[in-house]
Amino acid sequence: MFPRTALYLFLGFVLSGCLEPYKKKDAEDRKPLKNTAGDTAFQAFVGRLRKAVKNKDVPMIASLMTDDFGYTWDQSGPPSAQVFAYWDQNNLWPVLDELLSRKFSPNELYMVSPPELVSDPNYAGPRCGLRVVRGSWRLAYFLPQGQP
């Protein structure tokens, strides 16, 4: 009886010192990105996203978005079907498709398109950003024009 209790106490002590797997990963998600445009995981994500946008596959696109996806400068509340209705009303599908076909560049926590967004401080055109959330790439924002 005593050896079993000692074993349980020992295991409890040893395992309590283990790192929680998501805390380390979340901290890594907040580090500024290096240029990952050539990374196969990034390319695969962009390929899936491009295909979903071309086909207007709303459920697939929704699964590739962050929970706090940004689509207007004055957005309030979580994204929902209104994102896609907004894109339909303003004919933004071709704009997003074109951005996804362009080169991406690192900008702090995001890989952004177009690269002019990083190189030109006065850039006011459409933009989209991708970022890593819990180890997976996600579409974080798509804004059809610069800040008003």
pTM: 0.71
Q: Which two tokens stand for residue 39?
A: 């990374």
At residue 85, the 3 state secondary structure works out as helix
- The class that CATH gives domain 21-143 is alpha beta
What is the b/e burial string over 92-128, where b = at least 16 CB atoms within 10 angstroms of the residue's CB?
beebbeebbeeebbbbeebbbbbbebbeeeeeeebbb
Q: How far apart are CA 148 and CA 137, in angstroms?
A: 28
pLDDT of residue 22: 46
What is the pLDDT tens value at each position of the chain, 148 positions in all? Answer: 556 655 455 545 545 555 554 455 555 445 555 656 667 889 999 999 999 999 999 999 999 999 888 887 666 545 566 889 889 998 999 999 999 999 999 998 999 999 998 888 889 899 999 999 999 999 999 988 765 5
- Number of residues in the chain: 148
| Domain residue limits, the chain | 21-143
Q: How far apart are CA 131 and CA 8, in angstroms?
A: 42
